[in-house]
Each structure stands twice: as structure tokens, then as C-alpha cells.
Amino acid sequence: MPPPSAWRRSPRRKPPSPRSGVRHERAPPPKRTSRQRQEGHSVNRPDAWVADGRFLVEDTPLPGLQRIRRKPLADARGSLERLYCASLFAACGIDTPIAQINRTCTRAAGTVRGLHFQHPPHAEVKFVQCLRGEVFDVAVDLRAGSPTFLHWHAERLSQDNATGLLIPEGFAHGLQTLADDTELLYLHTAPYTPQAEGGLDALDPRLAIDWPLPVGERSERDRSLPRLRPDFTGLIP
């Protein structure tokens, strides 16, 4: 496998600025046991080039939530990027095939979508990438018993930084667009199941997500999503 320096980068690529939070305070990276590393699909890796050097897999402060950086190939004609590879998921410990691929187009910057998830047994792994524009992409840990329960982490995904977020089962997902006409690509390991859909209010003060722009458009469905109940103890697989 060639070293990372052997690849030609598109000159416009810039590293994203990750952000993490927990309720009303910032969350330090948790200390991780061997079991947590395995649950986070980080055994023998922690950060590694996989799939013939086309993806860099990086851990985030939340066990199991991973940042995926693509390696574009560029020449005088333009560039080529691999958006998915079965060996990428295998390297991350995911043995469930892709069941559905969706694309969203959002007209206005400031729009907020989410927070969405599916209840077990229809829980899904979700791989989110930005094809156009820029987005503040958020994942919230809802796993019962998790050391980072109700912590959130955000990544700026854009058409320029070639970065995606691999979100495991047991997380809620939401986003805010940072540019007009933003397009996202979603890969899901489970199909959309209406009777299993769940969600939380993206403006819940208990989560205290630090949205970078004033909140703009939200769907009627998202505005009606509930806030966390005081007795909520997490999603049980």
C-alpha cells in the first residue's frame, strides 16, 4: 500500500473542524477499555488507511463514531473519489450490507434536519457524506449504558474536505446546512421503517447542541419531535 504522501490531493481540500459536546458542557475524550475499543470497531487500528489506501478511518471522542476521510485521485482531467467500499465497512467491523442509499438536497443555509434514529430491531449504521455545499453534521449517543450517553459530536462535512461520518447503531443524527444548495449522500444498513422511526428535538436544551448558524427552516415533523424525557435511559439493542 503506498504511503498517504503518494496520493495527489485536490488543492481545494481543507481539513474539517470537529466539535463535540455533552449536555451543557464540553465532553473530554473518554478513556476507553479494550471492550470499548472493540465496540467502537477500533481494535488493532486506531487510525488506519484501508481499502487500498482510499480511506482514512479516524476515531472521534465517542466510541464507535468514526470520521472517514476519502483520498481523491486527481490529474489534469479532474478527480475521482471512491464513496463506498465493502472493505471499508469490514475494516470498521461492520458486517451488515448496505440496504438503502438516499440523497438529500437542501436549499437554504441554516436549515436544520433531525434528530432522527430508528428503534431496534431496525437500528441502522449510517454513513453520511457531503456531495455539494457544507454541513454541520451531528451524532448523539443514545446507547443505554454507554460511557458517553447523551454526548454529541459534530463534524463539518463539505464538497471540499472529502470527509464523511460513520454513525453506528444507537445514535441519533441531525445536521445544519452551512451553505445554500447542499447535497448529502446517505448509506444505510437498514431500510427506512416508518413504524420504527424515532426522533428528538434538535433544540432540546438538555442536549445543548451548539448550532453554528441561527436556526432556519425545519420541517413540521422535526419541529414536533419530543424532547428527552427525564426517565430516558437509552436505546436497548
pLDDT tens, position by position, 128-140: 999 999 999 999 9
Name the residues annotated as catalytic.
116, 186
Would 133 be classed as within a structural domain? yes
Number of domains composing the chain: 1
pLDDT surpasses 50 at 167: yes
Provide the pLDDT for residue 44: 40
The per-residue pLDDT for 175 is 99
Q: Is residue 228 part of a domain?
A: no
Compare 72 and 228 and report the one with higher pLDDT.
Answer: 228
First-to-last CA distance in the chain? 37
Look at residue 114 and tell me whether its pLDDT is greater than 60.
yes
Q: Tell me whether residue 127 is in a domain.
A: yes
* pLDDT above 90: residue 4: no
Split at pLDDT 50, 70, 90, the class of 47 is low
pLDDT confidence band for 6 (50 / 70 / 90): very low
Least confident stretch, 32-36, 143-147, 148-152: 32-36
How high is the pLDDT of residue 230? 94
How far is Cα 68 from Cα 194, in angstroms, rounded to an integer? 29
Q: What is the CATH number of the domain that holds 192?
A: 2.60.120.10
CA distance 136 to 198: 21
Task: Please indicate, yes or no, if residue 16 is contained in any of the structural domains.
Answer: no
Instruction: Give the structural domain span for 144.
Output: 30-223
- The cell for 155 is 463534524
Q: How confident is the model over 196-236, as pLDDT tens digits? A: 999 999 999 999 999 999 999 999 999 999 999 999 999 98
Kindly state the average pLDDT of the residues 105-125.
Answer: 97
Rounded-to-integer distance, Cα 92 and Cα 166, Å: 9
The answer to whether residue 64 is domain-embedded is: yes
Establish if 8 belongs to a structural domain.
Answer: no
Query: Over 50: is that where the pLDDT of 170 sits?
Result: yes
The whole-number pLDDT of residue 9 equals: 45
Q: pTM value?
A: 0.80
- Determine, yes or no, domain membership for 85: yes
Residue 234, domain member (yes or no)? no
Average pLDDT of the segment spanning 89-94: 89
- CA dist 112 → 20, 103, 141, 217, 223 (Å): 18, 16, 19, 6, 10
Pair 116, 188: CB distance under 8 Å: no
